[in-house]
Structure 1
Amino acid sequence: MKEKLFAFPKQSSTSYVWLFPELSGPFEEATVCMRFHSDLTWGYPLFSLSTWSKSNDFLLYYSPEMNTFSLSVSDIDQYYKLQGNNFREWTSICATWNSSVWVVWIDGKKHNIDRKTNMKISADPIIIIGQEQDSYGGGFETSQSFVGEIADINMWDKALTDNNIIDYFADNEISGNVINWNALRYNLTGNVNTLLYVDPYPCEIV
């Protein structure tokens, strides 16, 4: 999938990408990074990981109405109030979690919340892009679908360090060990296309 993207042209309850992870868990730490853009003016999911026990075992979700980004782990939600974000242009996001730190990075800006939780992501996840799972591998609703483009999805079974995440934003091609964009295993369903991804912020050497 290097230099490619997933394009979701319109809202639907039947269009999505199923990602097949390299590790099956359970996970006591996790990081997800991705790049995306969307013109939607209502809430939409970016990354939906569900297990038998929790429909939102790891969910990334944006609510344009309140300009709020949420990270949900094991059905527990953490909200990040944003300023000046609308995500109509290509945006890079990383969300990292362990037992004491929930951090969201947006285009290199760190939104940090320290909170202690004793939980883990269960084994055998189903990972869906383009829809929010309200049940294990299903429960899709048109009103909760994604419209736009997504690329460079990676997931790790650990909380990345600040330097690791800065490397991701610098496009140093670090690859996840749970989801690896450069060796992605996936299945397309419905109206989803793979297109050429052109870096909107190319590195120019003077």
Structure 2
Amino acid sequence: MVFTAAQRVLSVVILIILVKEITTSKGLVAKETNAEKIDRLLREIEEYEESEARGEDTQDMPVVRGRSGRKKKPKTPRVNLGHRQLSFPAPPATKNFVEIPGMSEDLRSFTICLHMRTDSVKGSTLFTYYDKDGAEQISLYSDERRTKYKLRINARHHGQKKAELKNLDGKWHVICALWEGKHGSYEIWSDGKIRVSGEGLDDDFKISGGGTFVLGQGGDKKKKFKDDAAFSGDISHFNVWDEWLDKADLRSREKSCKLEGNVINWNADDIKLTVNGKILIDKFSCMWKRELPADEVDLLTERIEKDKALEEDD
């Protein structure tokens, strides 16, 4: 690949700065020699230049953080979270949250599902959707009693419904929230079962497009997030559909660990997210894997290993 003289000069300047950092610090990776650091930094510069040469927007690349909490550039701007989870550290903090761009069009119904795991004894927010002006329009969060989760639509009207979910056991659970605006119909699911359902939750309302989904935090975005709304634990497979999925469809998708929303698709190669604070992107093991027959477990494991190998090749 051919670069302009200006690009080469910029690369050299960046390298000089990074080498200076190496000589004045202990480095980012334990037991990494200076030679290894230089080699790694050269590779990172080359990857960055190749991304720019392809015309890819590196500003929209998600922030991946190491165990130290320091920011690192992903290897490529393409992100596939299919076998990954977001790990929110304890104690819960306002600075730890993830942002995902929402839909462009208004929603008159939705299905939102996610895998979650926590043993936190505090109330917390799984996700919130804010419109482009920062007003809360969807939120799924637990109250101060910690066992009841509330689905809130249009915070300005204070419309919300509660469901008893016993999921603070440190194990993986699948939670889904469904709503349609014509009659205000709603359902909250947990592990394949409907925990609460009804009508009248902000009927004749629509969810505004152009906003942002926030994982792990809620409350008034215009002012300041609060610690008592922050999430501590793990979240994975966050998917959003612009329709009300029927029971059979929802159950089959839920247990497949290959949920693919048509608004937000966790398994998409180009999902965009912004990670704030000290959240880690870790490996995820499908919670339903233990319930599969042995031969299917072997096939699933083989597929995961192939995906990992492809990521390493990239």
Structure with a larger share of its residues in strand: 1
- Find the aligned partners of 2:217 and 2:166 in 1 and give their Cα distance: 25
- Superposed counterparts of 1:43-192, under 5 Å: 43-52=123-132, 55-63=135-143, 65=145, 67-75=147-155, 76-82=158-164, 84-99=166-181, 100=183, 101-116=185-200, 117-135=203-221, 139-171=224-256, 173-183=258-268, 184-192=271-279
- Find the aligned partners of 1:64 and 1:165 in 2 and give their Cα distance: 29
| Residues 80-109 of structure 1: per-residue CA shift (max 9 Å, x gap) | 342644352100011110033100110011
Paired residues of 2:97 and 2:215 also in contact (CA < 8 A): yes
Structure with a larger share of its residues in helix: 2
- 5+ residue gaps, structure 1: none
Per the alignment, do residues 9 and 27 of structure 1 end up closer, same or farther by CA in structure 2, a change over 3 Å counting? Answer: same
Larger CA deviation: 39-48 vs 83-92: 83-92
| Residues 39-95 of structure 1: per-residue CA shift (max 9 Å, x gap) | 111210001101146733111112361521111111243333426443521000111
Paired residues of 1:50 and 1:133 also in contact (CA < 8 A): no
Cα drift, residue 204 of structure 1? 2.0
Paired residues of 2:123 and 2:146 also in contact (CA < 8 A): no
Residue matched to 1:199:
286
| Larger RCO, structures 1/2 (Cα 8 Å, 6+ apart) | 1
Per the alignment, do residues 200 and 107 of structure 1 end up closer, same or farther by CA in structure 2, a change over 3 Å counting? Answer: same
- Find the aligned partners of 1:36 and 1:72 in 2 and give their Cα distance: 19
Cα drift, residue 141 of structure 1? 1.3
Paired residues of 2:94 and 2:230 also in contact (CA < 8 A): yes
Q: Radius of gyration: which is bigger?
A: 2
**TM-score, length-scaled by structure 2:** 0.60
Per the alignment, do residues 84 and 2 of structure 1 end up closer, same or farther by CA in structure 2, a change over 3 Å counting? Answer: closer
- Matched residues, number: 204
| Residues 7-47 of structure 1: per-residue CA shift (max 9 Å, x gap) | 011221112111123x3221111110000011111210001
Per the alignment, do residues 83 and 92 of structure 1 end up closer, same or farther by CA in structure 2, a change over 3 Å counting? Answer: closer
**Amino acid of the structure 1 residue aligned with 2:212:** I
- 5+ residue gaps, structure 2: 1-80, 296-314
Paired residues of 1:62 and 1:70 also in contact (CA < 8 A): yes
**TM-score, length-scaled by structure 1:** 0.90
